[in-house]
Amino acid sequence: MMYLKLAWRNLWRNRRRTLITAGAIVFAVVAAIVLQSMNRGTYEVMIDRMVSFGTGYVQIQDYRYHDEASLDNAFYYDADLRDRVMAADSRILHLAPRIQTFMLAANESSTRGAMVFGMDLEKERQFNQIEQYLQEGRFFESGADEVVVAEGLAQRLQLSVGDTLALIGQGRFGMSASGLFLITGTIDHPVMEMNNTAVFMPLDAAQFLLSAEDQITALLINPSLARQTDAVAASLRSELDGTELVVYTWPELLPEILDLMEMDMAMPRLLAVILYIVIGFGFWGTVLTMTMERLREFGVLLSVGMKRGSLSMVILLETLFISIIGALSGMALSWTILKLIDPIHLTGNAAETVLDMGFDPVIPMSFAPDMFYTQALFVFLIAVVVFLFPLIKIHRLNVLEAARS
């Protein structure tokens, strides 16, 4: 307790020095966290959209479907399988059955390739609130020959609400699949690729069209929390062991997204390392000056009987105090700054460029807890390493020379 009191009092004997040193730590923490937050925020939105609209956090397929995405590799889905899946793990929150296939979408004079999704609208709402992206009209009704068309595809076919869309393709086992469907709505899909190709229709209507009654190509599963994905997948694999069904997590279904994210995060990480190095040298300069200024103080303390180990402990505690104050203040200031600027709205040419790429013209911030404590921990460790210099100086200090300096 005595060492703690001495260390704390020593910090505030020279407030300017303490504040400058802590301020350098705060700057490093804030810069590192904000830089990481901008990059991670963008990818979190991208992943959330791909998972919500594409794969789910966990997905069940026939074991052949991943290698050959054919309707022939769909699987039977009924209430028994649904109950079995839900009972496999209490952390499973939502299920959404889907059937999807590639077909030709046509108007009176032209055709375009389209990805047709048969889905249960009530279940789909629980995954992605898809109805909030509806631009015109309404969503289809279960069992009706109605479709909702993505805006990009509707524009290419020059179709709108109230028009008729022809779908032509192949169902299960080579069966002919074609039909006319009323367009009840258009949707501005947040995933650019799907906005240019997607057609949504009732699950039962799609199964009838594709000669795939009670068949689906994928069962999407959302756990209560995203971090439970791997645990839920493990429970389902155990439950479905010995069947023709396999379980995938979203990273297994979207490896290209993770690869892209890793590549894109390399630059911010490099900048963070450079920042750490610069800040480390800044700490070094501050500590070097502080140590040289206090040599006489150290010499006097040692000459009156204070042991080198005790003095080293006091200096170490000072170091820890400054580092903790700087790291915690940096985390708090970072959180405040991110809250104030989240999200950053782009304007002008930058906004148009981002819109053309299929994204909203905003830069969202990430508030992932690990990002805060990881960056603060790195800066804290750098500060502790740099502050080893005065400890070494104390053990090598000539007491007589230091006391007379």
> What's the half-sphere exposure (Cβ side, CA atoms, 13 Å) at 100?
22
Which pLDDT score is estimated for 99? 94
CA distance 249 to 257: 13
132-189 pLDDT, tens digit each: 888 888 988 888 899 999 988 998 998 999 899 999 999 888 888 889 999 999 998 8
Q: Copy the structure tokens of residue 296.
A: 């006489």
382-399 pLDDT, tens digit each: 777 877 777 777 777 666
CA distance 247 to 241: 10
Q: Can you tell me which residue has the tokens 């053309």? A: 356
Q: Can you tell me which residue has the tokens 């524009």? A: 155
Neighbours of 173 (CB within 10 A): 10
Q: What is the mean pLDDT of residues 249-273?
A: 76
DSSP 130: G
CA distance 239 to 90: 13
Least confident span in 33-37, 240-244, 313-317: 313-317
Of residues 85 and 27, which shows the higher confidence score?
Answer: 85
Which pLDDT score is estimated for 259? 74
Q: Is 360 left (phi over 0), alpha (psi -120 to 50) or beta?
A: beta
pLDDT tier at 346 (50, 70, 90 boundaries)? low
Q: What are phi and psi of 62, to 5 degrees?
A: -65, 145
Which pLDDT score is estimated for 5? 81
- pLDDT > 60? residue 351: no
* Cross-strand bridge partners of residue 224: none
CA distance 143 to 208: 9
- pLDDT > 70? residue 106: yes
Q: What is the mean pLDDT of residues 29-41?
A: 80
CA distance 5 to 349: 58
CA distance 213 to 207: 5
Amino acid at 39: N
CA distance 86 to 94: 9
Report the Cα 26 to chain-centroid distance in Å: 25
180-238 pLDDT, tens digit each: 999 999 998 877 778 888 999 999 999 999 999 989 999 999 998 888 899 999 999 99
Q: Which residues make Cβ contacts (< 8 Å) with residue 373, sequence separation at least 6?
A: 331
**Through-space distance between the first and last CA atoms of the chain, rounded to whole angstroms:** 31
- pLDDT > 60? residue 356: no
Q: At what angle do helices 15-50 and 255-293 cross, to 10 degrees?
A: 180
- pLDDT > 80? residue 359: no
User: Where along the chain do its domains lie?
Assistant: 2-49+257-404, 64-243
Q: Are 80 and 240 in contact (CB under 8 A)?
A: no
pLDDT tier at 45 (50, 70, 90 boundaries)? confident
273-332 pLDDT, tens digit each: 777 777 777 777 767 777 777 777 777 777 777 777 777 777 777 777 887 888 888 888
pLDDT tier at 357 (50, 70, 90 boundaries)? low
Q: Copy the structure tokens of residue 168.
A: 């032509």
CA dihedral 243, 48, 94, 249 (to 10 degrees): 20
Of residues 25 and 208, which shows the higher confidence score?
Answer: 208
Pairing relation of β-strands 58-62 and 245-249? antiparallel
pLDDT tier at 118 (50, 70, 90 boundaries)? very high
CA dihedral 72, 120, 191, 139 (to 10 degrees): 130
pLDDT tier at 361 (50, 70, 90 boundaries)? low
Of residues 13 and 106, which shows the higher confidence score?
Answer: 106
Gyration radius (Cα) of the chain, Å: 31
Report the Cα 242 to chain-centroid distance in Å: 34
Helices (H) and strands (E) in the chain, counts: 16, 14
* Cross-strand bridge partners of residue 290: none
